[in-house]
Chain A
Amino acid sequence: MVDALAVAKEILGKLKPRFTDVAVRVELIDSVMVKLWNSEPSITQSWIETRVGLYLTKDGKVFVTEVSLPNVGSVEDLARRVEKVVSALEPSEFYAPLPEPQTYTPLEGIYDPNVVKAMDDPGRYVELMVDAALAEGVDRVAGTLVLGREFIGLATSTGFEGSEEGTEVEAYLRSFKGEFSGHWAYGSRRLDEQAIKEVGRRSGYYATLASSKASFTPGKYDVVLSPLVVGNLANTVMFMASAMAAAVGMSMFMKFKPGDRIGSEHVTIADAPRDPLLAGSRSFDDEGVPTYDKAVIEKGVFKTLLHSTGTAAKMGAKSTGNAGWLMPHAWNIHVSPGEFASEEELISELGDGIVITNNWYTRMQNYVEGIFSTVSRDAAFLVRNGEIVGYLTRIRLADKLPNLLRGWVAATRDTYLIKWWEVETPTKAPYVLVRNVNLTKPTI
Chain B
Amino acid sequence: MAKADEGLISRAVDYALSLGASYAEARYQRDVTDEVVLRNGRVVGAGSNVREGVGVRLLVKGSLGFAATNNLTWEGLKEAVDKAFARARSAARLRKEPIVFSEERLGRVTYEVVVKEPLENLDAESMIRYGREVSEAIMSSATKVKVPAVMIEASTNVEEKLIINSDGAVVRSLIPRVAVFANFVLVDPQKGTLQRMIEKGGSGGAELPKEWRLADEVRDEVRRLENVLLNAVEPPKEAVDVVVGSEVVGLLVHESAGHPMEADRILGREAAQAGESFVKPDMIGKFRIGTELATVIEDPTIPGSAGYYLFDDEGVPARPRYLYKEGIINEPLHNRHTAKIFGTKSNAAARAMDYASEPIVRMSNTYLKPGDMSFEELIEDVRLGVFIRSYMEWNIDDARWNQRYVGLEAYMIRNGELAEPVRNPVLEITTKGFYSSIVGVDRNLRFYLGLCGKGEPAQGVPVWFGGPDVRLSKIKLGVIA
Chain B residues in 8 Å Cβ range of A396: 395, 402, 404, 428
Q: Which of A48, A62, A367, A374 contacts B71 (CB 8 A)?
A: A48
Would you call A123 and B195 a contact (CB within 8 A)? Answer: no
Q: Which residues in chain B, 376-391, are within 8 Å of chain A measured between CB atoms?
A: none
Measured CB to CB, the closest approach of chain B to A14, in angstroms, equals: 17
Chain A residues in 8 Å Cβ range of B63: 41, 44
Would you call B47 and A63 a contact (CB within 8 A)? Answer: yes
Would you call A44 and B65 a contact (CB within 8 A)? Answer: yes
A16 to B466, CA, bound (A): 48
- Chain A: interface size category: 35 or more
| A104 CB within 8 Å of chain B | no
Given the known inter-chain contacts A249-B183, A367-B195, A396-B395, please indicate yes or no for A67 contacting B481, CB distance below 8 A: no
| A361 CB within 8 Å of chain B | yes
A34 to B52, CA, bound (A): 24
Q: Which residues in chain B, 47-103, are within 8 Å of chain A measured between CB atoms?
A: 47-53, 63-72, 76, 79-80, 83-84, 86-88, 90-91, 93-97, 99
| A212 CB within 8 Å of chain B | no
| A443 CB within 8 Å of chain B | yes
Q: Which of A40, A174, A444 contacts B96 (CB 8 A)?
A: A40
Would you call A46 and B68 a contact (CB within 8 A)? Answer: yes
Which secondary structure dominates where chain A touches chain B?
strand
Stretch at the interface among A86-94, A267-275, A278-286: A86-94
| B356 CB within 8 Å of chain A | yes
Would you call B49 and A67 a contact (CB within 8 A)? Answer: yes
Binary per-residue interface labels of chain A (36-52) against chain B in the complex, 1 for a CB within 8 Å, 0 otherwise? 11101111111111100
Measured CB to CB, the closest approach of chain A to B126, in angstroms, equals: 9
Would you call B272 and A173 a contact (CB within 8 A)? Answer: yes
Would you call B193 and A368 a contact (CB within 8 A)? Answer: yes
Closest chain B residue to A378, Cβ basis: B398
Q: Which of A33, A44, A440 contacts B457 (CB 8 A)?
A: A33
Q: Which residues in chain A, 304-326, are within 8 Å of chain B measured between CB atoms?
A: 326
Would you call A373 and B404 a contact (CB within 8 A)? Answer: yes
Given the known inter-chain contacts A44-B63, A396-B428, please indicate yes or no for A89 contacting B91, CB distance below 8 A: no
Chain B residues in 8 Å Cβ range of A420: 273
Q: Which of B45, B184, B426, B458 contacts A64 (CB 8 A)?
A: B45
Stretch at the interface among B35-43, B201-209, B307-315: B35-43
Chain A residues in 8 Å Cβ range of B356: 47, 49
Measured CB to CB, the closest approach of chain B to A394, in angstroms, equals: 4
| A265 CB within 8 Å of chain B | no
Closest chain B residue to A367, Cβ basis: B195
| B275 CB within 8 Å of chain A | yes
Q: Which of A48, A361, A366, A375 contacts B392 (CB 8 A)?
A: A366
| A114 CB within 8 Å of chain B | no
Binary per-residue interface labels of chain A (67-85) against chain B in the complex, 1 for a CB within 8 Å, 0 otherwise? 1101000000000001001
Would you call A364 and B87 a contact (CB within 8 A)? Answer: no
Would you call A63 and B46 a contact (CB within 8 A)? Answer: yes
- Interface pairs (24), CB distance under 8 Å: A33-B457, A35-B456, A37-B269, A43-B88, A45-B358, A46-B83, A48-B69, A48-B71, A50-B71, A64-B47, A65-B47, A67-B49, A121-B90, A361-B396, A363-B395, A365-B392, A367-B195, A373-B406, A375-B397, A377-B398, A394-B398, A440-B428, A442-B404, A442-B430
**Interface contacts beyond A61-B43, A443-B433: sample of 8 additional A-B pairs, CB < 8 Å, sorted by A:** A37-B268, A45-B65, A45-B68, A48-B69, A142-B270, A249-B148, A249-B195, A361-B397
**4 A-B pairs with least C-beta separation:** A249-B149, A361-B395, A142-B271, A62-B45
Q: A: which residues have CB within 8 A of B? A: 32-38, 40-50, 61-68, 70, 82, 85-86, 88-90, 92-94, 120-123, 126-127, 140, 142-144, 172-174, 176, 183, 220, 247-250, 254, 326, 360-369, 371-377, 394, 396, 398-400, 420-421, 438, 440-444
